[in-house]
Amino acid sequence: MPERIESRNPATHEVLGSVAVTPPSDLDGIVERSREAHRSWAERSAVERGSAIARAADYVFYNHRRIAELITRENGKTLVESYLMEVLPVLDTLRFVGRRAARMLAPERPGNPQIYMKHKRHVIEHVPLGVVGVISPWNYPFSIPAGEIAIALAAGNAVVFKPAPVTPLIGEWIAEAFVAAGLPEGLLQTVHGDAEIGRAMCEHPGVGKIFFTGSVEVGYKVAAACSTVLKPFVLELGGKDAAIVLDDADLERTARGILWGGAANSGQTCAGIERVYVARALYEPFVARISSLAEDLRPGDPLDPETQIGPFTVAEQYEKVAAQVEDAMAAGAKRLTGGPVDVGLPGKWYAPAVVTGVDHSMALMREETFGPVVPVMPVDDEEEAVRLANDSEYGLGASVWTGDPARGRRVARRLEAGSVWVNDHMYSHAACQLPWGGVKKSGLGVTHSKYGFHECTRLRMVSGDAGRFVPPFWHPYDERLRRALEPIVGALFAPKALDRIRSLAGHLGEFRGLLDRAREMRRGS
């Protein structure tokens, strides 16, 4: 790999800047600096750490225009999407983490239902992991890593952050925002490079956990690399999200919502809608309406306010999308709208495509597409829709569209996905109070919410005992202990209350002997 990575505008191919590649040989020193910074950081209260995250939010706020424009230039999103999908969610997430860190990380105090433990007190603490590695994607280069870094830091960890090599300048902005918040030197460090430095992070024994967002193929490699040192990981991988349109759905709202779910960010969203199953009674009007709406979405320069669809961030993704649609058409599918389009710039665009005549024998309905393509199938009833929606190796998200919210929730509970939305899709990644994660090949573990905080910690149980009582079960064993054990079992665990009372009342002598034994052990006799 070259010594520097150039960042290019995917629409114009203009060089925006460059960053130095981090040699894997530097990782030992980077991790050691992170560990040193972590020690003092972890001693601060969660309130104090949360305040630092809130200061990072202030920095993003005061620089939001520059950040949004950089996202559009480096990633290819329209400016509207840079705000809606990146800047606004990051501001909300940083505020949420800043306010809620102490509550999310508060020690838990479980009760003691066992009568023989009533004299003890237990606390379950959420302890920082140490150094956390965050390996982020290019499709949401600001909102995904910023949220994961914020939670990891608030939980008391240091972070080694690897941005995608396609969007390194946005990664630098994230680091700048947190450093401006007054973090200790070395607490957040950014490394740049390709799979080599990512693999080194996974295999390094000083990095306590990896958070990876990307493809299933690379996710397997991350898991394999982490396994060499028994390192835990959180994987947010690909998706093939299904949308089910029931026969009572609002046609206009549903068509608009599903088109947005499939075409936003040029379809480059892990939780984008890539399969639509429509009740046969609504199928024809739905196809007609979503096709009409898709034709109105204008591809072009993402800095142009009139543009609705930006370029592919990575040109190779364009080739994959085009090939999937062409293969489906060769097998009998029909593309009603969209397709490859020339906007007069060097980048690659694909106008939003509505595709009919599809089935599950086609790669378009089985493999992740990651482009603005909405394939639509008619179904006879809910049963068929649920069966087809669940007929996938993926399970990141799904949605149900209906005029009856209760019916929608009932269908939603039958879908095999980490998140299921009724009459909307994928928006909850921007709501940090809600967990985000998938099932099947879409990933392991979660980010966001209190569960995302818990992913950044390990549990430690601390027991309190005043030391005034010697348990009669300690050595040396004697006949009094042996005689008391059977009635203890009956008094505590007999299925019927009357049997428990009989066991207690009928063996008072054995219980007194056990208490005498405890007193003798206390006196040392």
Q: Let me know if residue 512 belongs to a domain.
A: yes
Name every residue whose Cβ is closer than 8 Å to that of residue 40 and which is 6 or more positions away in sequence. 184
Percent of the chain with pLDDT over 70: 100
* pLDDT at 60 > cutoff 70: yes
Q: Let me know if residue 191 belongs to a domain.
A: yes
> Are both 266 and 408 inside the same structural domain?
yes
Rounded CA-CA distance 177/91 in Å is: 11
> What Cα–Cα distance (Å) separates residue 452 from each residue in 42, 234, 326?
18, 10, 40
Condensed to tens digits (0 to 9), the pLDDT of residues 70-108 reads: 999 999 999 999 999 999 999 999 999 999 999 999 999
Q: Which domain holds residue 195?
A: 27-105+121-237+450-460
Mean pLDDT for 143-159 is 98
Q: Let me know if residue 5 belongs to a domain.
A: no
Mean pLDDT for 252-275 is 98
Q: Let me know if residue 444 belongs to a domain.
A: no
Structure confidence at residue 339 (pLDDT): 98
* pLDDT at 331 > cutoff 70: yes
> Are both 327 and 426 inside the same structural domain?
yes
Last residue of a domain, one of 419, 442, 460: 460
Predicted confidence band of residue 523 (pLDDT cuts 50, 70, 90): confident
Structure confidence at residue 280 (pLDDT): 98
In 3D space, the residue among 333, 372, 368 whose CA is nearest the CA of residue 350 turns out to be 372
> Are both 70 and 201 inside the same structural domain?
yes
Residue 405: give its domain's CATH number: 3.40.309.10
> Are both 191 and 335 inside the same structural domain?
no
Query: What own/partner pairs with CB < 8 Å and gap ≥ 24 does 15-23 have?
Result: 16/70, 16/73, 16/74, 16/169, 17/169, 18/168, 19/168, 19/169, 19/172, 19/192, 20/192, 21/192, 21/193, 21/197, 22/191, 22/192, 22/193, 22/197, 23/197
* pLDDT at 160 > cutoff 90: yes
Condensed to tens digits (0 to 9), the pLDDT of residues 380-397 reads: 999 999 999 999 999 999
Q: Let me know if residue 285 belongs to a domain.
A: yes
> Are both 158 and 176 inside the same structural domain?
yes
* pLDDT at 525 > cutoff 80: no
> Are both 165 and 287 inside the same structural domain?
no
> Are both 388 and 273 inside the same structural domain?
yes
The predicted model scores a pTM of 0.95
Domain count, the chain: 3
> Are both 274 and 233 inside the same structural domain?
no
Structure confidence at residue 35 (pLDDT): 97
Question: For 117, what's the count of Cα atoms within 13 Å in the CB-facing half-sphere?
Answer: 10
Structure confidence at residue 243 (pLDDT): 98
Mean pLDDT for 179-184 is 94
Condensed to tens digits (0 to 9), the pLDDT of residues 408-450 reads: 999 999 999 999 999 999 999 999 999 999 999 999 999 999 9
> Are both 229 and 273 inside the same structural domain?
no
Structure confidence at residue 433 (pLDDT): 97
Mean pLDDT score of the chain, rounded to an integer? 96
Rounded CA-CA distance 150/121 in Å is: 32
Contact predicate 126/105, CB 8 Å: yes
Q: Let me know if residue 14 belongs to a domain.
A: no
Predicted confidence band of residue 522 (pLDDT cuts 50, 70, 90): confident
Predicted confidence band of residue 504 (pLDDT cuts 50, 70, 90): confident
Q: Let me know if residue 61 belongs to a domain.
A: yes
Percent of the chain with pLDDT over 90: 93
Residue 61: give its domain's CATH number: 3.40.605.10
> Are both 98 and 196 inside the same structural domain?
yes
> Are both 230 and 366 inside the same structural domain?
no
Contact predicate 194/163, CB 8 Å: no
Q: Let me know if residue 315 belongs to a domain.
A: yes
Structure confidence at residue 1 (pLDDT): 67
> Are both 312 and 369 inside the same structural domain?
yes
For every residue of 455-493, DSSP letters joined together read: HTEEEEEEEEE-S----TTSSSP-HHHHHHHHHHHHHHH
